[in-house]
Chain A
Amino acid sequence: DAGVIQSPRHEVTEMGQEVTLRCKPISGHNSLFWYRQTMMRGLELLIYFNNNVPIDDSGMPEDRFSAKMPNASFSTLKIQPSEPRDSAVYFCASSSPPDKHGEAFFGQGTRLTVV
């Protein structure tokens, strides 16, 4: 398996533009997570899905952020409109069912810069 695949790896956009980050989880994993990492706040969980259903989105900073998982092999995180303070590395991770000790596998991340 190629692991968790995120695209793009880098994104530079102007303030006010819409940004869409994409993630393909590992086949067979039933949980998917979106994290944001910054120097100031460390690693923050934004939202997680179980069996394609959003379970906890309490970490989503505000209404400008939305996430979808239309099927088991694809998820998007959208920011509209983007702001400079959204600049961060966004990670997607997926994990297997709990009886397999729930290890989370991370993608390489998308480095977002909003200017």
Chain B
Amino acid sequence: GEDVEQSLFLSVREGDSSVINCTYTDSSSTYLYWYKQEPGAGLQLLTYIFSNMDMKQDQRLTVLLNKKDKHLSLRIADTQTGDSAIYFCAESNNAGNMLTFGGGTRLMVKP
């Protein structure tokens, strides 16, 4: 079955880089995603990567995909206090219409 795993918690200082890691099991996933959940809100898509790519950069965000090891990471450069949130990685199923989410990583940014 599909399984997506993440570490529970990450604490960084403002201005440092944050790296959030994720492992997944479904090698047939077409897309992999990073979602952000701020307190009291739903999840919002931050970025996604197609499975035939190994890197995607979007401003302060860098996504790295190691398909061989089924490892996905999200790097946030120059982390700000506003980046404090829970970050979820997710993979899509074969048909691409259902997502399996990891348990979420709570990022705390200290001033």
> Which A residues are within 8 Å of any B CB, using their own CB?
4, 30-31, 33, 35, 42-43, 45, 48, 50, 55-56, 91, 93, 95, 97-99, 101-109
Q: B101 — which chain A residues lie within 8 A by C-beta? A: 35, 42-43, 45
A98-B97 in contact (CB<8A): yes
Question: Considering the chains assembled together, what is the distance between the CA atoms of A55 and B104 in angstroms?
Answer: 25
Interface residues on B, range: 20 to 34
Chain B residues, Cβ within 8 Å of A93: 42-43
Q: How many A-B residue pairs have CB under 8 A?
A: 64
Assuming the contacts A42-B104, A43-B88, A43-B104, asked whether A103 and B97 have C-beta atoms less than 8 A apart, the reply is no
How long is the Cα–Cα vector from A33 to B90 in the complex, in angstroms? Answer: 14
Q: Does B10 contact A (CB under 8 A)?
A: no
